[in-house]
Every structure is written in C-alpha cells, then in structure tokens.
Structure 1
Amino acid sequence: MSTESETKRAVRHLETTARMKELLPGFFARPTEKEERPVAWCMVGVPPELLKAFELEWEWPENFGTLCASKLIAPRFIEIAEREGYSADICSYVNNTLGYCRQFLEEDGSPDLGKVRGMRKPSFLLGSGVTCEPRYKWFQTVATRYFQVPIHSTDPLAPPWDQDTADPRIEEHYLEQLRRDLQGQVAFLEGQTGKKLDTERLKSIMKYSQEALWYWHQVLQLRKAVPSPMGSTDYFMAIIPQMYMLGEPEAVNFYRQMYDEVKERVEKRISVTDQEKYRLVWFGLPPWFNLGMFNYLESLGAVVVYESIYNMGDWVDLDLANPLEALVQRTWKKAVIANQRGAETRPETCELSAVGNFTGSNLLEELVEDFKLDGAVLHQTRSCRALSFGHI
C-alpha cells in the first residue's frame, strides 16, 4: 500500500489539459530572455487584463514556484533562501523566489534548470496584499535585496464577514477604495511604460475575459454530475488561463474546448475512475510535488469533485462600457457573494475575492447538496496558515 502512494507523476484524464502546451503557446512558449518590452513580475491578484492592455511581458513567481515543486527542484532554491537567513516557516513560494533571485545574481542570469524555464530579470514588480501578510514583504525584499527595481503593491479590500453589503453606504465605501487602488496601479504602469492606458483596448480584452470565465464556470458546474467527468489532476492544470491569461483569445479557445469535452463525458457517463465510491471536496493548497496522489485516491474509488483553492466561484455579469469600473465591480461582486455565503469561517481575511471561492458555512451546505459530497480532505501546509482550512 505504501509503495503505491509514493510520489508519482499525475495522470490527466482530459485531452484538453493533455494538450495545454499546444493550446496555450502564449503562456508556455514565451521567450526566455528579456526583450525590449518591460518585464513585470506579478502576484496573483494583479489583473492579467491590465498587463495585456499595456503590452507587457510578465513572470508570475507563484506559478514558477508550483513548477519548481512539480519538477522537484524547489528544495534547491528554498535551501538557498534558508542559508540567507529566511525561516523555513515562511511561505515556500516566497523562499523559492528569494533563493532563485540569489542564484540568478550569482550566475548573472537564469540558472540552468534543465527543461524548466527560468524567470527573466524584472523591470518592475506588481505586488498584491490579497490573502496573506507575507505577500507585502515578499516583493519588497526582491526589490531591495536582489533587484533594485520599482514596486507597486495593490490591496483590494473587501468587507469583513459581519458587514451588511446590502447597505449602500458600505457598498460605496468599499467601491471607492477599490477604485483608488486600481487607479494607483494604472498610474504606476503608465509611469513605468511611458504610455497612457488605452481603455478601448482594455474593453476588448475584457470581453475575452468574460467569455473565458463563462466557459470555465460551466466546466466546473458539470462536475456536479455523477459519476464525475473530471478530477483534480486536470483542475490544477486548467487554472492557468483563469489566473494568468485572462483577456487572451487562447484562454477562450482552451476553456471552450474543455467545456465541449467535459460535457461529452457527462453525456456518455465517462468517469475518472472505474467505480466512483466517494465524492470529496479538497481544502487548501495542492501538493504540487505529488499531484499523482489524486490518482491514488481515484484508484480507491475516491474522486475530488470540488477544490476550494483557486476556484473562480460564480460567474458575474459585467457592464464593459467602462472597463476599469468593470474590474472594480468584478472584485466587489465576488466579495459580496463570499460575504453572503458565510465568510465567518475566515474572519481574519478581508480580501475574499482572489484566490479561492470557499469562504463560508452557507457555501459548504450548498456544496454538500449540489456536488453530492461524501467527505472532505483538509490539506495542511505548514508554511501557509491562511489557506490551511480547518487547521486555524
């Protein structure tokens, strides 16, 4: 039994996710060397649509961290960071980045990672305070100890669990904060790039975002079917366009093809396991170094049909006449939904709209009924208290 559960490469069940590199060349086939265009290092919580509107090259250290973990090279960078004096209890994404930065400087360029593509040197940093405290200091450290580059950090606050979001005074208070926050981000990007934001271009980009998110939401809804047509090994790959490629036609095409495939699997009752016995919800970060663990669960007849982390939640309709206001409304509407579903499970976290959709007791009741859940897996990550649900 123990031999079967050791680290194994994940097996995906969908043709769409198996063809990701082919379907998403804008993400997987980016240049390895810095081009003339500025390169922004970004955190999740920064709207990908803005990056495209300003025609920026980008790197996402959080995604790079998952890649390093999946290829079993993250310990190399984490150990470098620990030798620099950073605690092993700090977020592993942070330590992976800081260790990479140190080796980048020592080797005067991206270190040799074999088939893994390294990150290019940043021109500036776009941080975000969404979800946890280390994210504030993460990019500050990169900008002061490693690369002396400008930094801007966004902080999209949403109301805590005990606020009445139907009160127009509260709504306007938070909307104004969100507007000022986004305006500050735009002003920073205009200063760094030397050009004004083209709102008409942003509007067309947002149309692609809305379409991509609609198809992705439909895919997630199809997982209510019994037996489930899709498991976590496909889900944790399919989040890439949602998190890093919104506004790209490639994202629309990817999720449209995925929707067609999953819908067909539902109609033909094609499951991810020969005999589905248990339907599970997954809380917390996945074990990126061992996604094959989900296949092991499937071999026992247990299928994860809903993941709390990175879940887009409800699709929200937006008026794109003013694309910047649409970005504000997207954040606000998702925060309101989270608040109404019982955000008392995370009272310490006000920014409920970016990383995961699981926020409350009311939502849990919905999930148990709609997804016909039999149980839950609460994955504890020692270096991530904010997302270790059930352990705090």
Structure 2
Amino acid sequence: AVDHEVGIAGPPTPDLVIYSTNSGHNLIEWFDYYGSRFDIPVFGLHPPAVLGDIDRVDIDAATQQMLRMAGRLEGVTGTSLDMDRLGEVVRNSARAATLWEEILELACSVPSPLTVFDLLIHFAPMVLMRGTPEAVEYYRILKEEVEERVAVKQAAVPGERFRFYWEGPPIWSALRSLSELFLERKVAVVASSFFTNFSLAGLDPTNPIESMATAYMMVFPNRSASYKRNTLVTEFESYGVDAVVYHEGRTSPQYSNVRQGLEVQMSRRTGLPSLVIEADSHDMRLVSISRLEKQLGEFIESQAISQSETS
C-alpha cells in the first residue's frame, strides 16, 4: 500500500534505533522489537522519571546519559560529535519550539482559530524537520496566518458551541471521523497536553547537551501526578474549556494516565464534565469508530442539555 501511494516499499531500514523513556517505559519493548526485527543496535535513554520539581541531581543524571549516548554513537558511526553544529541545530529547535508554543496559545482565543486536528498535521515539522531553518520558517508563517484568523475572529469550527480538551494520545486512525463528528456538532477541541511535548522549553545553543537533557526530562508524560493535575487545571482555565475527553490508549496506558485515576481527580477538582474513551493511538484492531462516535455524540448531547437547562 505504501509503495502504491508514495513509490517506496516503506521506511528505510535504520542502522540503529534510539528511544527515551521520558514518554513511557513501554517504549523499551517497542524498540527492542525493532532491534530484533532489523538486527540492529538499540540504545536507550532512561532519564529520571515521575518528577515534580526538577533538581540539579536530576539534570546531571540526564546530562551524563546524553554524553554517554553521544560516545556510543561516535563508536558506531565513526563520526565525532560537532558541538558547533549541534549548537546550530539546537538554536533552530529552540526558535521553532517558541513559535510552536505561541501558536498553541492562540487557541485560547474565542472562537478558536484552530483545533487539535489542525495541530496534529502542523506538528509534523517539529518531529521530521526539527533543528532546521525550514521548520522555523514554517512556524513563522503558520503563526502569522493564525494571528490573522484571531484578528478577524475566524473560527476553526463555525458557530463554536463548546470547547473541549483532549487528554491523552491521539487516535491516528480516527482523525478524519472524529474531526468531522466534532465539526458537525460545533465542538472545538482546542488543546491537548500531547502538544506541549514538542515545546521543549529551555533549549540553549550555548549549552546544548545539558539543555536538551533537561527539556526532554520536562515533558508532560515524565512528570509527577501532582504536576500533571496542576498543569491541567491551568490549561483548562487558559483555554476556557467546557468539558474534557480522556483517551485511554490500550497499548500506552502510561501515556494516558487514566488508570492512575487522573480523570476522577480532575473531575472532583474542577467540576468539569468528562468522558473516558478506550481506543488506541496505533493498533487499529483496538479502535471501534462506531463506538467512539456513539460515545462522543451522546456526551456532546448531554452537554447541550445541561447548557439549555442552566440558560
């Protein structure tokens, strides 16, 4: 199928694979599988996890791992790390990350100029082109376009009726059907903690390795339960959300946080209506589009009824 669509049989075979457990320890098994399949080396970063405050000892531990990783890569590739080049890449990454964070904040506007379904397309350069001037230019242009939408109050969802927050990983195989469902019901899904993972605050081209280690350690999935709760309270208020959808991804429960009681705790703390859906971000066998549409449709209708009763 891939060969028919884009002219290649699939992704090229890697020379090695690298993971970081900052997004969950299930990545260890995932990458071990690819190491076995392709018969290639597997390297892993295991930064300090479940962090509230990040202390000097945490930063030092993560930095030492990055330095050891650099040494191992030099041994495999036969190429020395060019610190000047790394600083240039980190500088571009920091610029793109700052623009990305500013774009996310524009979704606080009412009506929202973009939704998470737009962002799931536009975050691609942060993953595939990170560290390049092209990524910086992409987000500069995107920010200008979104600012123009805000200025004229152009809504991503015409007639925006509700504003939802999506907590948990995206359901990649259901993006079109979910975006159409929310659009038809005039629901703008305005934000998700998923996107903050690409903000990478604090990258410093003059201290690239330590700042990279710190930034990767600070991502939302790697933080403590209390940090996550406090962050979500702030996010819910900033984006003015009316309800929250929690996605429990069956193959990535650590990333979803639902099994640790996050949805119940946040409901008690904020009073916001919420819905837990079970699906998956990767395995289509674990996703029922019809079930999702039924659950979400009924949940949105219940919000409409509650709104009419209180108006």
TM-score by length of 1: 0.61
Correspondence 1:127 to 2:8? no
In structure 2, relative to structure 1, the CA distance for the partners of 1:287 and 1:337 (3 Å cut) is closer
**Alignment of structure 1 residues 14-25 onto 2, 5 Å:** none
Which of 112, 115, 120 does residue 231 from structure 1 map onto?
Answer: 115
Give secondary structure in 1 for the equivalent of 2:140. helix
2:130 corresponds, among 238, 246, 250, to 246
Deviation at 1:159, TM superposition (A): 5.2
- Residue number in structure 2 paired with 1:328: 213
TM-aligned CA deviation for residue 141 of structure 1:
2.6
Alignment counterpart, residue 188 of structure 2, candidates 271, 292, 303: 303
323-332 vs 288-297, greater mean Cα deviation: 323-332
Query: Are positions 1:361 and 2:253 aligned together?
Result: no
Counterparts in 2 of 1:309 and 1:261: CA distance versus 1, 3 Å: same
Gaps of 5+ in 1: 1-72, 74-111, 166-170, 346-358
State the partner residue of 1:284. Answer: 168
Q: From 39, 43, 56, give the equivalent of 1:152.
A: 43
Gaps of 5+ in 2: 261-311
Aligned to 1:41: none
User: Equivalents in 2 of 1:308, 1:384: separation in Å?
Assistant: 15
Task: Note the aligned Cα RMSD (angstroms).
Answer: 2.4
Task: Pick the aligned partner of 1:213 from 88, 97, 101.
Answer: 97
Q: 2:102 and 2:219 mapped to 1: Cα distance?
A: 20
Aligned partner letter, 2:213: V
- Do residues 193 (structure 1) and 81 (structure 2) align? no
Q: Give the whole-Å Cα distance in 2 for the aligned partners of 1:286 and 1:172.
A: 33
Conserved 8 A contact 1:217-1:315: no
Task: Tell me which of the two structures has the higher relative contact order, counting C-alpha pairs closer than 8 angstroms and 6 or more residues apart.
Answer: 1
Deviations 1:109-150 (A, max 9, x none): xxx642155111121121222332331122223223x22222
Conserved in 2, the CA contact under 8 Å of 1:212 and 1:252? yes
Shift of 1:222: 0.5
- Contact 1:284–1:308 under 8 Å retained in 2: yes
* Structure number having the greater helix percentage: 2
Residue identity opposite 2:144 in structure 1: D
Query: How much has 1:338 moved relative to structure 2?
Result: 7.8
2:241 alignment partner, one of 373, 376, 379: 373
Aligned-pair CA distance for 1:190: 0.7
Residues paired across the two proteins, number: 257
Q: How far does the alpha carbon of each residue in 1:284-320 deviate from its partner, in whole angstroms, 9 at most, with x for none?
A: 1222112121222122111011012232476634442
Q: Structure 1 residues 247, 224: CA separation in 2 closer, same or farther (over 3 Å shift)?
A: same
Amino acid of the structure 1 residue aligned with 2:58: Y
- 1:236 to 1:364, Cα distance in 2 relative to 1, 3 A: same
- State TM-score, norm by structure 2: 0.75
SS of the aligned residue for 1:270 comes to coil
Does the residue aligned with 2:196 lie in a helix, a strand or coil?
A: coil
